[in-house]
Amino acid sequence: MADRTFSPLDRFIGEIDKAIKVLAAPAHANRPSPAGAGGELVLDDKERRESARLMRVNHSGEVAAQALYQGQALTARESSIAAALQKAAGEEMDHLAWCEDRLSELYGTTSLLNPLWYAGSFAIGAVAGAFGDRTSLGFITETEKQVEAHLHSHAERLPAADHRSRAIIDQMALDEAAHGAEATALGGRSLPFPVRAAMRLTARLMTHGSYWL
């Protein structure tokens, strides 16, 4: 049986469906949360609020990651690259679910700006993919490098007693490093300094926005 060919309208509707699932539906993980079950240490109100804000930022980062990968997969030239991007997006969905669950435990809320982060990241991913698969993969390598550094900084900022959030962040950092290494192995090309600097600035804006909103 021949593979079905999707029209532009079909693909557009498919992307809208994916966006709704990320932004409005509970995320489901395929792997158990690194936080484990039980063992929660008592956090005072100040510590709980700080942990919730940091995990909200991480949740927003995973919303952006879903959009970024979907945008890149949409404009990928080779089907093998599109498949690798979709696989990475599936693994990142675990991160989204872990952060969402931990936020609930901390009585926190997801960012009001998530629809903006999703739309912007999808557009950036689609543009990166349009420049070719090697550039798109290089974009992933640089993104994951910056995200890994950001996660390590969050692990240091978390209250000392919040072992559950730290366990989640540590596993996320390991996964991000693996995704970046895979993108490089698939042929990712190094990005010029101005692009890397613009990416850092964009990430900083998202981080500050999600911390407070």
- Cβ partners under 8 Å of residue 91, min gap 6: 175, 179
The Cα 110–Cα 104 span in angstroms is 9
Under 8 Å between Cβ of 173 and 152 = yes
The Cα 98–Cα 96 span in angstroms is 6
Q: What are the structural domains, with CATH classification, of the chain?
A: 43-212 (1.20.1260.10)
* Stated length of the chain: 213
Residue bearing tokens 């407070």: 212
pLDDT tens-digit map of 80-127: 888 888 788 788 889 999 999 999 999 999 999 999 998 988 888 888
Q: What is the DSSP-derived secondary structure letter of residue 50?
A: H
pLDDT tens-digit map of 144-203: 888 999 899 999 999 999 999 999 999 999 999 998 898 888 888 888 888 888 888 888
3-state secondary structure of 192: coil
Q: Is the pLDDT of residue 9 over 60?
A: no
Instruction: Give this prediction's pTM.
Output: 0.88
Q: Is the pLDDT of residue 22 over 80?
A: no
Q: Which of 100, 53, 22, 101 is nearest to 210 (CA)?
A: 53
